[in-house]
Structure 1
Amino acid sequence: MFNDIGALELVTIVVLAILIFGPDKLPKVIQDVSGFIRKIRAFSDSAKQDIRSELGPEFKDFEFEDLNPKTFIRKQLTENEDLQELRSSFDLRKELNEVTDAVNSRDTGPVPSAAPASATPAAGTGPDLLKKPAAPAVETRTPFDADAT
């Protein structure tokens, strides 16, 4: 519940509580607040049990944490066998390394290209992606329109 409260924040809260309530009333306030939190938790647990009993036996393994979209997706990705098989067949790092090597113009094997085979150099390497392409001829360059940009 208070996972993101650091030591400085905790000390600040304690000092403020002592200043507001005073050292003589502080134990009673802490006791009242902790009792209130216990009642809220008991009410919440009771409501969860009522909902589970009303849903019926087909939802006996239902967890309210599964309603969180992140938890639901994580659970589906880890428990679904088809998705596990797909994840094991797809190696993202290998694909990323191949793309990086293609960008750095290293020849790691056949890299699919959108250009036709006649447009590739005869040496068998892919196009040099680091070279700056030649500027188009002046007559084929589109006119600059300052209002359009």
Structure 2
Amino acid sequence: MFSSIGWPEIFAIVIIGIIIVGPERMPRVVEDVRAAVFAARKAIRNAKAELNGEFEEFEELKRPISQLASVRRMGPRGVISKALFDDDEEFLDSFNPRKLMEDESSAQPARTDMPAHASDSASPKNPAASFSYADIYKKHTNNDDVL
């Protein structure tokens, strides 16, 4: 409690106390101060215990409100997918276009040998092989007027 008070300060307080109170009444004053400190500690301890009991009830009320706030942050699509897939994160990540786009970009190295003719790049040789979710996602995010 008095960790910041050192021995010189305590000595100064005792000397001032002896001068002001007197050596005869000093033991009685020390007992009174000691009793006041213990009473203050007991009152603080009781107040903490009472407040902790009240805060437990507050936490019970706070929990549903925080769950409602997290549902609001998810949006309708997130709530429905959470209810349907019951927090199956791995299954939901397989349909996440951002994750698919990141996976494809990390799997494909950057091309340096681009064809020189525009006609070669305009018509792919195998249309099924050129399909990717990343392209759809890029087109969708670039067109703001779609929705």
TM bracket (short chain): 0.3 to 0.5
Larger Rg: 2
Could you state the TM-score of these two structures normalised by the residue count of structure 1? 0.37
Higher relative contact order (CA closer than 8 Å, sequence separation 6+): 2
The structure where helix makes up a greater share of residues is 2
